């Protein structure tokens, strides 16, 4: 059960990209999870429930989204998640994670997407950590930028109704 403000992304229902990402993620009991651009919290809260031994950190630039994420954490009795306000990775810049997930926003521009949602999060992965992202198919041209990352294995996990889910594993 989730509450959401009418002005936030995906107000009335879980958007298709988020749904396909949640259904695709298969991780091996990560200790630390980051939901980057968490919105009102569906991905982070579902992962916190699924991986109850993990510590889930949810970050969004929109303070209203953070308020709703915090409300939804309480509403769903989730004890292993926190929601922080901040742009990109700034709120967690001194931390690393086993799993980072994001429904990448399509309208912030290619350079911002590449830096803020791919390159910088990848740097914050622990060895053998995974970055799972979903993008609208119009952003698939950014895939070659992911493939250029060192010590990684990238896989297209699922393609469905205008969205593609990618998993990038950082080799240990």
Using a pLDDT cut of 70, give the percent of the chain over it: 92
Best CA proximity match to 84, nearest among 112, 65, 108, 100: 65
What is the Rg, in whole angstroms, of the alpha carbon atoms belonging to the chain? 15
| CATH topology for the 16-22+31-170 domain | Rossmann fold (3.40.50)
In this predicted model, what pLDDT tens digit does every residue of 70-122 receive, in sequence order?
Answer: 999 999 999 999 999 999 999 999 999 999 999 988 777 788 888 888 889 99
More confident residue, 14 or 49: 49
pLDDT in tens, 15-32: 788 899 999 999 889 999
The residue ranking higher by pLDDT, 130 or 143, is 130
Q: What is the pLDDT of residues 109-120, one digit of tens each?
A: 788 888 888 889
Quote the pLDDT of residue 150: 76
Work out the pLDDT band at 13, boundaries 50, 70, 90.
low
For residue 155, list its beta bridge partners: 167
Query: What residues form DSSP beta bridges with 56?
Result: 33, 81
Contact in structure between 3 and 64 (CB atoms under 8 Å): no
pLDDT at residue 40 greater than cutoff 80: yes
Per the prediction, the chain carries an average pLDDT of 88
Give the domain ranges of the chain.
16-22+31-170
């Amino acid at each position: 059960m989730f509450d959401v403000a009418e002005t936030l992304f995906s107000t009335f229902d879980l958007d298709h990209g988020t749904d396909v990402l949640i259904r695709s993620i298969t991780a091996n009991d990560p200790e630390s999870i980051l939901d980057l651009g968490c919105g009102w919290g569906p991905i982070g809260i579902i992962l916190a429930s699924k991986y109850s031994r993990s510590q889930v950190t949810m970050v969004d630039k929109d303070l209203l989204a953070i308020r709703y994420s915090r409300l939804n954490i309480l509403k769903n009795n989730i004890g292993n998640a926190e929601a922080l306000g901040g742009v990109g990775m700034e709120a967690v810049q001194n931390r690393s994670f086993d799993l980072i997930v994001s429904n990448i926003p399509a309208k912030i521009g290619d350079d911002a997407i590449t830096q803020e949602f791919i390159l910088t999060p990848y740097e914050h992965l622990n060895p053998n950590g995974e970055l799972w992202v979903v993008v609208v198919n119009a952003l698939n041209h950014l895939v070659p930028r992911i493939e250029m990352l060192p010590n990684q294995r990238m896989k297209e996990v699922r393609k469905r109704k205008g969205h593609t889910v990618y998993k990038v594993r950082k080799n240990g």
